[in-house]
Amino acid sequence: MNRYFPTSLPPLRPVLRRHLLLLQHGPVVLRPLQRSDLSAWRHHYRQVERSSNLPDHFDAEAHFLCGVQRSQLQHDNDQLLLGSFDAAGELLDQLSLRLHCAHARSVELRWLHAAGCPQRRQLHASLQALCTFLFEQVGIRRLFVLLPPDAGSALVTTLQAIGFEREGLLRDHHLDIEGWQDRQLYALTAPAWLQRQSAEN
């Protein structure tokens, strides 16, 4: 028996482009982004662009369309692009889920812009819907977020309210036009999430 690779794990449920995924919690709806969302995405991206230092050579629109085409969560390094929408159908933000390791069931969550969900209630609802889906239906074991050291306190407070814990600081983890940047690591595991849900219910 190989003690390093447990065989008792249930299979990871893949999330593919053809699936009609629709997640809702409170006023927020999460669904896969599509080519038809390009106009709304452009509007949102312009707002992000005004407050970010992005490299001149970065073709965001091509990156978005390519991401939509390849969007899935099944194999190592797969990425699933989701849009966070309000009740009126307005795009609040883009969420990107990257499956780092299918065997270890570890997923990184990124927003197009950390301030993309300015209202804490919207961000909380997005995370609640996402965690319920990933941990209880897909079979993900660990969800983590990398934040800049100056990330807003509202974002950190919301992550902690869901159950994320700060696990450390990654030195020189990210390179942008201003040089090497540190990142804070926040993570939530499936057992911690399920225990929290049981206690709340």
**Nearest Cα residue to 71 out of 17, 142, 111:** 17
The mean pLDDT of the chain is 87
What local confidence, expressed as pLDDT, does residue 160 receive? 94
Write the pLDDT tens digit of every residue in 142-194: 999 999 888 878 889 999 999 999 999 999 988 877 889 999 999 999 999 99
User: Which token pair is 76?
Assistant: 């190592």
Bigger pLDDT: 54 or 139?
A: 139
Flag whether pLDDT at 56 surpasses 70.
no
Give the 3-state secondary structure of residue 159: helix
- By C-alpha distance, which of 1, 199, 2, 9 is closest to 104? 9
Cα 30 from Cα 14, distance rounded (Å): 17
pLDDT for the residue numbered 117: 46
User: Which of these, 144, 8, 137, 16, lies nearest to 75 by C-alpha position?
Assistant: 16
The three-class DSSP label of residue 133 is helix
pTM here is 0.88
- According to DSSP, the residues that pair with 146 across neighbouring strands are 185
| Residue indicated by tokens 């934040």 | 147
Give the pLDDT confidence score for residue 3 in this predicted structure. Answer: 56
* pLDDT tens per residue, range 97-125: 999 999 899 999 998 765 444 567 788 99
In the three-class reduction of DSSP (H, G, I as helix; E, B as strand; rest coil), residue 34 is classed as coil
Both tokens assigned to 198: 């049981």
Eight-state DSSP code of residue 73: B
Residues 6 or more apart whose Cβ sits within 8 Å of residue 100: 76, 77, 106, 107, 108
Edge-to-edge strands of the sheet including 142-147? Answer: 23-25, 28-32, 79-85, 91-101, 106-111, 142-147, 179-189, 165-176
| Average pLDDT of span 49-69 | 78
The whole-number pLDDT of residue 54 equals 59
Q: Say which residue, 32 or 7, is predicted with more confidence.
A: 32
Paired residues of 82 in beta bridges: 32, 95
